[in-house]
Amino acid sequence: MATAKRFEELDVWQRSRELTNLIYSFSNSGTFSRDFGLRDQIRRASISIMSNIAEGFESSTQKTFIKYLGHAKASAGEVRAQLYIVKDQGYISEKDFEKTREMAEICSRQLSRFIQYLSNQPNSRRVRETGVTYEV
């Protein structure tokens, strides 16, 4: 696996960004846009996936990174659960539900594999900035 230098390079972060944009797109209109509680909760959950991946990546240890990836995976499950409510309330079509649920499921599987991969690697130090000097 290639070493990413920025969290934006991670496939799972890019996929979670797509998921968040998809959720925002269908929650901006119709009856769903007026169900403020559910709309805001599913948006926060999808944002949490992206944010936890980024926060974990920027953390100082591999153990912390894995912990944040676990939080991101939990948020992916939260998004999937809330999608059923969205569908049951008739806020999105079956087609949009399936597309979004599948994307959330893919994020969850990618996170599982990433956690497994990192867990099997030596606990390397995460903070590294090559070629940077700081004046104090």
Neighbours of 114 (CB within 10 A): 21
125 lies in a domain? no
2 lies in a domain? no
pLDDT band with cut points at 50, 70 and 90 for residue 2? low
Average pLDDT over the chain, rounded to an integer = 91
What is the pLDDT averaged over residues 118-133? 63
Percentage of the chain with pLDDT > 70? 88
Alpha helices in the chain (DSSP H): 11-27, 36-57, 62-88, 94-119
- What CATH code is carried by the domain that includes residue 108? 1.20.1440.60
What is the pLDDT averaged over residues 5-25? 97
Which pLDDT belongs to residue 101? 97
Q: State the residue range of the domain holding 100.
A: 7-119
What is the pLDDT averaged over residues 110-135? 72
What is the pLDDT averaged over residues 52-58? 97
134 lies in a domain? no
136 lies in a domain? no
Q: Which residues fall within 8 angstroms of residue 135, CB to CB, at 6 or more apart?
A: none
Judged by DSSP in three states, 6 sits in: coil
50 lies in a domain? yes
131 lies in a domain? no
Measured CA to CA, the distance from residue 33 to residue 28 in angstroms comes to 5
128 lies in a domain? no
Which pLDDT belongs to residue 124? 61
132 lies in a domain? no
pTM of the model: 0.88
How many domains are there within the chain? 1
Which pLDDT belongs to residue 134? 39
Measured CA to CA, the distance from residue 59 to residue 75 in angstroms comes to 19
